[in-house]
Amino acid sequence: MTRVLLGGLVLSLAMLLAVAGLILTQRLVPLELRQSHNTTIGIIYAALHVTFGVIIGFSAYLVLNKYTTSQDTVVSEAGAVRAIFRLAEQFPEPQRDQIQQLTTSYARAVVDEEWPLMREGQMSPRAQELTRELTESINDFEPSTSVEQALYTQILERAHELDQDRDVRLLDVRRGLPPILWVVLVILAVTIILFTYFLGMESARLHVLAVAALTAGITFTIFTIVALDDPFGGDLRVGPGAFELVLNEIEDNGEQ
């Protein structure tokens, strides 16, 4: 089941339960009694609504920042792969071919193996091993001239950037919003919907439509936060396009 389909199912179920609860309340609690407490309930409802708005706004900021950071990290990591491959062209044999082969193999392992695994919160052992071999291959090079020393320093920096970006990417696979935020969001959302049951409205049909719309809005917002909190899983995941572009460049370079 895709995440979009699951979201639609959850949204429909939430609206159905909210409307069913409202209809039950309308039958059990007289309209006159509910109308007599509109002012008091309205004050409490407003306070809850503001609190919920602050919490959900803060949560949305965190997950959106995580999502955009993940996109930037992938682009930066792929850029480091490209830079290492190009810098290796100036290395003498056999280091040049070894470094370029490891770089290409790493990018291919990330696209073909690691990206599907990240949907399950896992990483590719082969990609991890290739980064280790790449670092060792670069460290084994002993520059003999000032030009080679400058080149060696540059490629070491790019290898360090590659390791850092990879660590950040894998960390984003495993970490998410603190559980306490999810607890607060769900409790406040349910409480806000329940409070709307006790507002007295002359039109029962309009009351049902209002509660259904409110439930849909809250559920859709929370579902969006859930989707963005997992940038490498689901239908809205960050893709390996940056790595695929680098691989195409490397393959075109090899054909020339």
* 111-121 residue pLDDT tens: 999 999 998 88
Question: Are 120 and 188 found together in one domain?
Answer: no
Distance separating alpha carbons of residues 171 and 71, to the nearest angstrom: 13
Regarding whether 159 and 117 lie in a shared domain, the answer is yes
- State the chain's mean pLDDT as an integer: 89
Same domain, 117 and 152: yes
Assess whether 123 and 15 both reside in one domain: no
Q: Is the dihedral of CA 10, 11, 12, 15 positive or negative?
A: positive
Once rounded to an integer, what is the mean pLDDT over residues 34-59? 88
Quick: pLDDT tens for 241-251: 999 999 998 87
Domain that holds residue 253: 66-177+230-256
What local confidence, expressed as pLDDT, does residue 130 receive? 94
Same domain, 169 and 195: no
Instruction: Give residue 121's region: left, alpha or beta (phi > 0; psi -120 to 50).
Output: left
Do 107 and 172 have their domain in common?
A: yes
Task: Please check whether residues 252 and 135 belong to one and the same domain.
Answer: yes
For the ranges 45-49, 60-64, 112-116, the lowest mean pLDDT is seen at 45-49
Q: How many domains does the chain have?
A: 2
**pLDDT given at position 256:** 47
Q: Which contacts qualify for 138-144: CB closer than 8 Å, 24 or more apart?
A: 138/84, 138/99, 140/95, 141/91, 141/95
| Same domain assignment for residues 155 and 196 | no
User: What is the structure's pLDDT at 250?
Assistant: 85
Do residues 185 and 222 make contact, with C-beta atoms less than 8 angstroms apart?
yes
Could you tell me if 70 and 157 lie in one domain? Answer: yes
